[in-house]
Amino acid sequence: MNENGNRLELPASIAVRDLAQRIEKSPIEIIKKLMTNGVMATINQPVDFDTAAIVVAEYGFEAIPETVVEVATEEAGEVPLWRQMIAGEDASQLTARPPVVTILGHVDHGKTSLLDAIRQTNVAAGETGGITQHIGAYQVELKGRTITFLDTPGHAAFTAMRARGAQGADIVVLVVAADDGVMPQTREAIAHAKAARVPIVVALNKVDRPNANPERVKQQLAELELVPDDWGGQTLVVPVSARQKQGIGDLLEGVLLVADNADIRANPNGKVIGTIIEGELDKSKGVVATLLVQNGTLQAGDIVVAGTAYGRLKAMNDYRGKPIKKAGPSTPALVMGLSDVPSAGDVFEVVGSDREAREIVTGRTDAIKKKAQERKKVSLEDLFSAYEKGEAKSLSLVLKADVQGSLEPILGELEKLGKGEIAINVLYSETGNIGENDVMLASASKAIILGFSVQAEVPARRLAEVEGVDIRLYDIIYRLTEDVEKALKGMLAPEFEEKRLGRAQVLKVFGISKVGKIAGCRVLEGELRRNAKVRLKRGADIVFEGEMSSLKHEKDDVREARTGFECGVGFKNFHDIEPGDMIECYVLEKSE
């Protein structure tokens, strides 16, 4: 409690549950007080400072505005989540905690081998029997200090955690093969780590290979703003060989050095909060979950709420499978007793009673339903109004293009546009179609995806709808840059609205040499028009959106095909057509 006598510091907005905790009253009691003052609020609903001040005054407290401590960072961006987790803790109670590390990198560059080498080196140093149970995380010791490793490598899992509000890790170890260099997934992993503002240590793996070229890799890293420390930069690059178990100690020392610079702290006696690493339903044990404590000390018998799951912890095991009674900051624990399987990335907390846990879960379930109904995309159209309200200082983008020759001029144009009042931050740029990883990165970073001469894959479209991510596709570069420029100046508005012309069903697919696949269709309603746009749907999924390459009736090229007629339709640069697919034909008209 932030009190000075009867004075109580309160933020500009505070949830009813948090307000109740600060004055050590029941949330139900606070809700009743609010109702008597004409304010209807649920346990998780925020109330403003003035309303909270009236409530606490009835309990003898004088509310004063909370002092906001700015966390200094090297550049504008989000504050690391672990700092947000300890924001309300007494600074004098904070102590250093072991760093939590995850390993990212390109496929086949040795992520899993490196994890195994780290684990085996530690076991050989004094632990017999090895790891008896996989729980998604484990700890190693070096010179009396502990490091926690997440045994779930992969930037998709890392970003999924951040998208749910969790801190995936304190430090990222980026594995790059010395004989292969920086690859597409390496660049993607760097983008994910930078977006999360997590420091990077590079493990330069496979240095024992005869064709290894460490200097070339360092040059590639420098081009991606990861300048090696031996080149005068800030990024530790440690040569290792997972196969030969060389350089493992140096890598661990490098992680500890970065951890010291990051000043990673927690309050072992504070509010218990952390992250779900993984969860499953075991046939004999029921719901089993791995929890990573990030503040406070978790104890057997505590009542835990994680997402929409809750329960009293019946048993706790460490990463070796041994029973434990408590787990402090940065300690992974395998627990039993939750009512449902929590999702990886859910933030968990300890509450005082089953009743409070049920109230929180009910509030979250209602909020999820409401959010699903009200979910609104972060879009270019909304950018300038958000900037004027002080809600946006930069535009975050994920850029995908068909070829490198298209990507570079677009990046150059965006760099020029980003020198005004609203900065442009291109989180990730690469060639290829828009996939699920791109959407997850955009969702976690509140970014917009721009695609040039590419398609969004079906799973990516589906995920974008769920996550509220705006995907914009272009086939002319100046239209892409023009839209971004208009958005930055507050001039972008929807200029066109869709007018549907007709609908047709694919009856049969024909393969024609030198042409590709043609859809044999029957027009069900309206008409298909040669110069209009088309959308190919498979069930509820959109598999293609663009232009026709051809429209024929029997052997003749035609401009249109009307209801009841059969026709052959070709799609520009697209051939994944199946019988039963539906074709929607439409034009875009200027809105008035």
Yes or no: say if 448 and 379 are a contact pair by the CB < 8 Å rule: yes
Determine the Cα–Cα distance for residues 99 and 263; give it in Å rounded to an integer. Answer: 10
**What's the CATH number where 195 sits?**
3.40.50.300
- Element containing residue 525 per DSSP (H, E): strand 516-529
Q: What pLDDT is attached to residue 69?
A: 37
Are residue 547 and residue 586 in the same domain, yes or no?
yes
**Cβ neighbours for 507, distance < 8 A, ≥ 6 positions apart:** 520, 521, 522, 566, 579
- Structure token digits, residue 569: 């339709």
pLDDT along the chain (592 residues), means of 10: 62 78 82 78 74 86 63 40 67 88 81 82 42 64 88 58 61 90 83 82 92 92 90 90 90 92 88 87 85 92 91 90 92 91 84 91 77 57 62 81 82 82 83 87 86 87 83 88 81 65 93 86 93 88 87 90 93 89 87 56
Summarised one tens digit per residue, pLDDT across range 278-300 is 888 887 888 899 899 989 999 99
Q: What pLDDT is attached to residue 255?
A: 93
Are residue 210 and residue 288 in the same domain, yes or no?
no
Expressed as residue numbers, the domain containing 539 is: 496-590
- List 216's β-bridge partners, or say none: none
Residue 306 falls within a domain, yes or no?
A: yes
Determine the Cα–Cα distance for residues 104 and 242; give it in Å rounded to an integer. Answer: 15
Are residue 167 and residue 256 in the same domain, yes or no?
yes
Yes or no: say if 401 and 431 are a contact pair by the CB < 8 Å rule: yes
Yes or no: say if 186 and 174 are a contact pair by the CB < 8 Å rule: yes
Residue type, 506: V
Q: Please tell me whether the overall predicted TM-score, pTM, comes out greater than 0.85 for this model.
A: no
Alpha helices, DSSP H only, in 452-585? Answer: 458-467, 477-488
- Element containing residue 590 per DSSP (H, E): strand 582-590
Yes or no: say if 586 and 501 are a contact pair by the CB < 8 Å rule: yes
**What's the CATH number where 309 sits?**
2.40.30.10
User: What is residue 407's three-state secondary structure?
Assistant: helix
In 368-469, the DSSP E strands lie at 394-401, 423-431, 448-452
Domain count, the chain: 5
**What's the CATH number where 445 sits?**
3.40.50.10050
Among residues 146, 168, 43, which one has the least CA distance to residue 96?
146
Q: What pLDDT is attached to residue 370?
A: 66
Q: What pLDDT is attached to residue 560?
A: 92
Q: What pLDDT is attached to residue 130?
A: 38
Q: DSSP states of 333-362 as a string?
A: EEEE--SSPPPTT-EEEEES-HHHHHHHHH
User: What is residue 208's three-state secondary structure?
Assistant: coil
Q: What are phi and psi of 60, to 5 degrees?
A: 90, 15
Are residue 141 and residue 232 in the same domain, yes or no?
yes
